[in-house]
Structure 1
Amino acid sequence: MTDLLERPAPAAEPAPAKSRRKWPTPLVWVSWALAAAMTYFIAFPLIKAVLSLFGVATATTGAADSTFLSVVTSGETLQALLNTAILVVCGGAFAILVGAGFAWLNERTDARVGWLAEVLPLVSMFVPSLAAAIGWVFLLDPDIGLLNSLMRTALGWVGIDAASGPLDIYSWYGLIWCYGVFLVPFAYLAISNGLQSLDPSLEEASRVSGAGPVKTFFKVTLPALKPALGSAVMIVIVMGMALFSMPVIIGTRAGIDVLPVKIVEDVTQTYPVDQVSALSRSAMLLVIVLIAGYVQRRLVGVGKGKGQAFATIGGKGSRGGAVKLGKLKAPARVLMFGYLAAAAILPFLGLLFVSLQTFWSSAVDWSGLSLDAYDALFEKPILSEGLKNSMLLAAGCATVVVLFAIIITHFTEVKGGKSARAVDGVLKTPAAIPHIVFAIALIAAFGGPPFGWNGTALILAAAYVVMYFPQAAMYSSAAVHQIGRPLIEASHVSGAGDARTLRRVLVPLMTPALISGWALIFVLMAGDITASAMLASTNTPVAGFVMLDQWSHGSYPTIAALGVVLTLISTCVVLVALRVRNKFRINR
């Protein structure tokens, strides 16, 4: 009889299967191909510009006594760098505070006013930066500004006689205000998207356990928002460092030189073109942005396995647990509407009044108002063509940029690795390069034979895609960080490949951030001035090129009319985009 306690002999272990080499998935191949194509459009123009700088290629390098060291250590450059830093730090701090405050009021309190609450922090984005700068000049010019004229009249009623002012847009406080207003939408969109993806039940649980609103904010909300805050800070620094339109209109008259304007002067107001100074000063901006990017990555823990700490997506988020502000509810709403009036309605009204006048004057002759400036937009081919080309290029290129950002972000943030980080760094390089410098590099690379793209829509499209890709990538990266790796790994464990995970998991959760990014990029492209001034031509005009040309000729009513039309179009596009975004929200 067989012993029942006798254990059967163990079965022979199967021979180990031969290890198979894991080949990249088709999505990875597509990512590499796309990254290679974009790297070419980034590296080739810059390399050619550098070769020209050192005399390897045929080009003018500028003043004979200009060297990298002499340029970056000159008093003129250091003063411009200091001015730029002051404006970006002060304006950026204002933007982060206002953007975070509006995001919290809209997403976590009962102060929101329906759909209008989402629009209020973005109103300054509706007015293109060049049009906004001109609008503020029309309002607050110390001598003939419309708003200053009204204030002087009001002061006269109380016995105060002012010859000029009382406000002066050509000042530090005027320029800091314009920087801050311009940067608020960038900060708000990043922080708001983070709050929308954060499960409010975590904050409710903290309050139920006895923690007050302040403790909940610092212990629960703020740590979970690290990716969004890091993205907001990075975007504010990048956009602030590269801002040209406002300081060239306001800062030049105020005597406040900044690096972007100095770089533009190196390539547009010197003969021969001083490429040494332009590239040297651009390198300073690049170093600053790279340092900011490193700090951002340390903040969110990218590359150290900390991304899982931010997987706070909730499936049933709602506004039912919104913080009750009580007596502060009405003041909070007044604050939001007051910001709307100060940031967008005032400069828009300045543009509107000047567009209806025959010439710019502080006194509004109501009987002499006309629509002649708007008639010119349709009668003059360069104006109508410029507006149409801007809209078509902005819509098409913004869509392409967002699609590229989805694919590249999956490769750099999800797949990871040293090669992915290198690709991420290369593709974000244009964020640190002033658009005017990159535009000249594109002309040097593609303007002549064998391409012959100079003054065509092709070179404009290439510039827009390459230069605005970093903004789309930052929003896309922040969305991936907020999702976290657990959901991605769960999809892979269930058998889904890279393409299916991207299509079924990542893209649906990233959609709100992507739509916001698309709207932002559309407005930036439609109102672009720096690249357009160099790459556009009378054969292929765009709005920025036309506005700068009209400003140089003193055609103020025509500039104002074009600014009004651009603002109305941008407003409609952003409102529609926000409406579509709301349908994809995770938290309802």
Structure 2
Amino acid sequence: MSPTSTLEGTTRSPAESGRPDPGPPLPPYRPGLITRLRRTSGFDLFSLTLAGILVALVCLPLVRVVVNMFYKDGRFTLEAIQRTLAIEDLGKMVLDTVVVVLASSVLAVVIGFLLAWANTRTDARFGLINEIFPYLPFLLPPIAGAVGWTMLLSPQAGLLNAWLRDILGLVGIPLESGPFDINSWYGLILVYTFYAVPYVYMNVSAAMQGLDASLEEASRLSGASAVKTLRRITLPALAPSIGAGFLLCTWFGFGMFSIAQIIGTPAGIDMIPVRIVKLLTFTYPPDEDLAIGLSAIVVVFVGLSYLVQYRILKNSRFGSIGGKATHHTVTALGVWRPVVRAGVLLYIGVSTVLPMFALFIVSLNGYWTPNIQWGSLSLDAFRVALFDDPKTQEAFGNSLTLGLVGGVIGILVAAVVSLYIAQHRSRATLGLDAAIKLPSAISNMVIAVGILLLLARPPFDLGGTWLILLLGYLALYLPQASIAADAAVATIGKELGEASGVAGARQWKTFLRVYLPLMIPGLVGGFALLFVRIIGDLTASAILSGTNNVVVGFRILEVFNGGSYATLAALSSVLVIVSALILVVVLWLSKRTGVARSH
């Protein structure tokens, strides 16, 4: 028997003290699930319900893809895999896709790193450009960018090619076509790279801003060269952010349809996303087995990218930099400062301004030709595209409505769920958060295929409806909404919510009167990204859109296939204008609400 201590300091057994032996201590009381649910407030139950809906919206399509891969008509089968492996040009298609995605991802890492270094660690940075740089690609949705580059660098009629031929002819170098061809390997990789760079830039620039430069300074003082310091100190510390950027680039590349279709297909470069869309949209009846099999290949390659990221994170602990306070020195470039600034401006001009210019010039000229009639530019193409074509009007109406509704629903739901997860940190809530962000780990193409398989058939029968597009967009772009909401929640401490509760306010009132107003600056930016991605989407639209729910992205693809280039440029230009206006207004509102909140 265990001894028992008394007030006199002596020790007696339970029997000697006249008390029964209490035995081993009882385990701590843990209420059951029903009891915990009864104790949960109405707002928390509402948050959990929303989280469950989001997880179902994200995970069930993926489950459906996996089930259809191995089960058909109630029996186990490998038919989808066998038919996929029997595709005659499967090897070439996989190789083409991998080469384009990996080459563009590596180039994006190099360019994104250099731009982040120039804009955060040197005196060549631009204050305004630093703020708008991550948003520049959203001003020019991928389908509009692909059209703009086609009009610039088509071998015969490309505007830039024609002007370059004129210049070369003046110095005695006559050319019949070219000198560049956008429908080529380097053209396709170039455009992919332009749209992948921001994923690297946003990750690396954020890491550089929080990186303590003390070890870098110590390395330089000890006699190490700048190159050795970069290799031994800076790159190991930035490895996780660089790996995350590379991973996002591959995710983007394997899910991109519009660039591959408009630039790669004429060049004979066969990409997996293009083949999936053809099998589901332009084949009758749709060949779902082959589409599912190709989707499985995409999942494998995205998984390999995650493995690379995991190895980087695992090894990066030896190169991490820590400390309570962080600071970084700004490198004075001296005579190289204007050169670096010119390089940054040149990149912005080439990647964004040039294709925008091509779209607007072709639209105003009325037809696609390098011989621009500068004195007779007009808005006729815009009038024909927007006011004389009922189908285009319907497409813009659907896209704008879906963008507004999807943006508002997505960001508000993400805000509620992110706040709940932040206030109830546990393995379960972290699992919910990971499930909601799952589409960022899977190609958009696979998610869209799963939405089609799940909702277009009985018992839902949503195929060709407005609702299937809304649900598809929400499933695809929930990670962005969730990340924006997480950032907005992170800026708010617990004290204000606790004070509201102490004052007697219920959770609903606390959310509406305290949390939501403080989160608005971050949520507004998240809404802008959702809106622009939805109205410019072609990946989900190409699979889920039909004659009864046509949207702008799919309408642009139809016009491109029909060869009406002025109308095509006008539609793309309007898409650029709408995206730019929304982003400008949102950034202005975000700054204004941020300033108001600070006062």
Q: TM-score, normalised by structure 2?
A: 0.78
Of 272, 296, 300, which aligns to 1:283? 296
Residues 230-261 of structure 1: per-residue CA shift (max 9 Å, x gap): 33222111111101101101111000011111
Match of 2:55 among 39, 47, 59: 39
Of the structure 1 ranges 249-258 and 97-106, higher mean CA displacement relative to structure 2 is found in: 97-106
Matched, 1:336 2:333: no
Q: What is the rounded CA distance, in whole Å, between the counterparts of 2:307 and 2:521 in structure 1?
A: 26
In the alignment, residue 269 of structure 2 is paired with which amino acid?
I
CA distance 1:559–1:292, shift in 2 (3 Å): same
Structure 1 unaligned residues grouped into runs of 5+: 1-6, 59-63
For 1:56, the equivalent position in structure 2 comes to 73
Instruction: Go from structure 1 to structure 2 and tell me whether the alpha carbon gap of 1:575 and 1:133 turns closer, same or farther (over 3 Å shift).
Output: same
CA spacing shift, 1:95–1:572, aligned 2, 3 Å: farther
2:556 maps to 1:547: yes
**Whole-angstrom CA distance in 2 between matches of 1:85 and 1:545:** 26
Does the alignment pair 1:357 with 2:356?
no
**Displacement of 1:333 after TM fit?**
0.7
The residue type paired with residue 279 of structure 1 is I
Displacement after TM superposition at 1:322 (Å): 2.6
1:113-128 to structure 2, matched below 5 A, reads 113-120=126-133, 122-128=135-141
2:18 is matched with none
Question: Which residue number corresponds to residue 170 of structure 2?
Answer: 157
Once residues 509 and 297 of structure 1 are traced to their aligned partners in structure 2, the CA distance between those partners, rounded to angstroms, is 35
Determine if contact 2:250/2:302 at 8 Å carries over to the other structure. Answer: yes
SS at match of 1:115: helix
Tell me the distance in 2 between the aligned counterparts of 1:267 and 1:174: 27
Counterpart CA distance in 2 for 1:272 and 1:82 is: 28
Counterpart in the other structure of 1:9: 8
Partner residue, 1:207: 217
Residues 235 and 471, structure 1, Cα contact 8 Å, conserved in 2: no
1:459 to 462, 468, 482: 468
CA RMSD after TM alignment: 4.8
Aligned length: 559
Does residue 1:182 correspond to 2:195, yes or no?
yes
1:207 & 1:475 partners in 2: Cα distance? 34
Correspondence for 1:170: 183
Q: Given the superposition, is the C-alpha separation of residues 251 and 285 from structure 1 closer, same or farther in structure 2, using an over 3 Å criterion? A: same
Deviations 1:408-463 (A, max 9, x none): 6974998464884587257514752443x644543454345654533333221111
- The answer for the alignment partner of 1:61 in structure 2 is none
Alpha-carbon distance in structure 2 between the residues aligned to 1:465 and 1:364: 42
Query: 1:3 is matched with which residue?
Result: none
2:374 is the alignment partner of 1:366:
yes
Change (3 A) 1:43 1:208: closer
Residues 296 and 329 (structure 1), Cα distance of their counterparts in 2 relative to 1, 3 Å cut: same
What are the superposed Cα offsets for residues 477-534 of structure 1, whole Å, 9 maximum, x if unpaired? 8x69xx89xx999999x9x99x99x99x999999998766554443322211132234
- Structure 1 residues 566 and 75 mapped into 2: Cα distance closer, same or farther (>3 Å)? same
Contact 1:447 1:453 in 2 (8 A): yes
How does 1:368-517 map onto structure 2 within 5 Å?
368-376=376-384, 377-405=386-414, 407=417, 411=421, 415=425, 417=427, 420-421=430-431, 424=434, 428-429=438-439, 431-435=441-445, 438-439=447-448, 441-447=450-456, 451-473=460-482
The one-letter code of the counterpart of 1:56 is D
How far apart, in 2, do the equivalents of 1:400 and 1:112 lie? 37
Q: Compared with structure 1, are the counterparts of its residues 208 and 404 closer, same or farther at alpha carbon in structure 2 (3 Å cutoff)?
A: farther
SS of equivalent residue, structure 2 residue 127: coil
Instruction: Give the Å deviation of 1:66.
Output: 5.8
- The residue that corresponds to 1:574 in the other structure is 583
Q: CA deviation at 1:39?
A: 3.4
Moved more, 522-531 or 535-544: 535-544
What CA deviation, in whole Å up to 9, does each residue of 1:209-231 have, x standing for no partner? 83676666566655554553333
Q: Say which is worse superposed, 109-118 or 47-56, in terms of deviation.
A: 47-56
CA distance in 2, matches of 1:268, 1:372: 32
What is the CA distance between 1:181 and its match in structure 2? 0.5
The range that moved more, 37-46 or 575-584, is: 575-584
Residues in 2 aligned to 1:57 and 1:264: alpha-carbon distance in whole angstroms: 26
Q: Aligned with 1:356: secondary structure? A: helix
Q: Distance in 1 between matches of 2:170 and 2:561?
A: 37
Provide, for residues 137-171 of structure 1, a one-character-per-residue CA deviation record: whole Å limited to 9, x for no partner. 11111111111111111111112221111101111
Q: Structure 1 vs Structure 2: percent identity of aligned residues?
A: 32
1:526 alignment counterpart: 535
- Distance change >3 Å, CA 208–CA 581, structure 1 → 2: farther
Q: Which residue of 2 aligns with 1:93?
A: 106
Deviations, residues 18-46 of structure 1 (Å, cap 9, x unaligned): 72326587687666533432333345445
| One-letter amino acid of the structure 2 residue matched with residue 364 of structure 1 | I
Distance in 2, Cα, partners of 1:329 & 1:156: 35
Do residues 242 (structure 1) and 255 (structure 2) align?
A: yes
Range moving further from structure 2, 229-238 or 531-540:
531-540
User: Take 2:450 and 2:495, find their aligned partners in 1: how far apart are those partners?
Assistant: 45
Amino acid in the other structure paired with 1:345: V
Change over 3 Å in CA distance of 1:408–1:296 after alignment to 2: farther
Q: Deviations over 1:99-154 (max 9, x none)?
A: 22222222222212221343346433311111111111111111111111111111
Native 8 Å contact 1:126 1:570 kept in 2 = yes
- What CA distance in whole angstroms lies between the structure 2 residues aligned with 1:571 and 1:153? 33
For the Cα contact (< 8 Å) 2:93–2:272, is it kept in 1?
yes
Q: Unaligned regions of 5+ residues in structure 2, if any?
A: 1-5, 13-21
Residue 183 of structure 1 aligns to a residue in which SS? helix
Structure 1 length as normaliser, TM-score? 0.79
Structure 1 residues 194 and 265: alpha-carbon distance in aligned structure 2, compared to 1, 3 A threshold: same
Q: Tell me: CA distance 1:74–1:440, structure 2 relative to 1, closer, same or farther (3 Å).
A: closer
Change (3 A) 1:224 1:403: farther
Distance across 1 between alignment mates of 2:553 and 2:297: 26
**Distance change in 2, residues 1:411/1:419 (3 Å):** closer
Q: Output the CA distance in 2 between the equivalents of 1:12 and 1:403.
A: 63
Contact 2:439 2:475 in 1 (8 A): no
Matches within 5 A, 1:300-319: 300=313
Distance in 2 separating the partners of 1:380 and 1:12: 97
Checking the alignment, whether the CA contact within 8 Å between 1:49 and 1:441 is kept in structure 2 is: yes
Residue 268 of structure 2 corresponds to residue 255 of structure 1: yes
Amino acid in the other structure paired with 2:369: S
Give me the whole-angstrom Cα distance separating, in 2, the residues matched to 1:438 and 1:103: 31
> Of 44, 68, 79, which residue of structure 1 is paired with 2:92?
79
Residue pair 1:412, 1:421 contacting (<8 A) in 2 also = no
The residue identity in structure 2 corresponding to 1:564 is: S
Contact 1:412 1:420 in 2 (8 A): no
Residue in 2 that maps onto 1:536: 545
Match of 2:17 in 1: none
1:273 aligns with 2:289: no
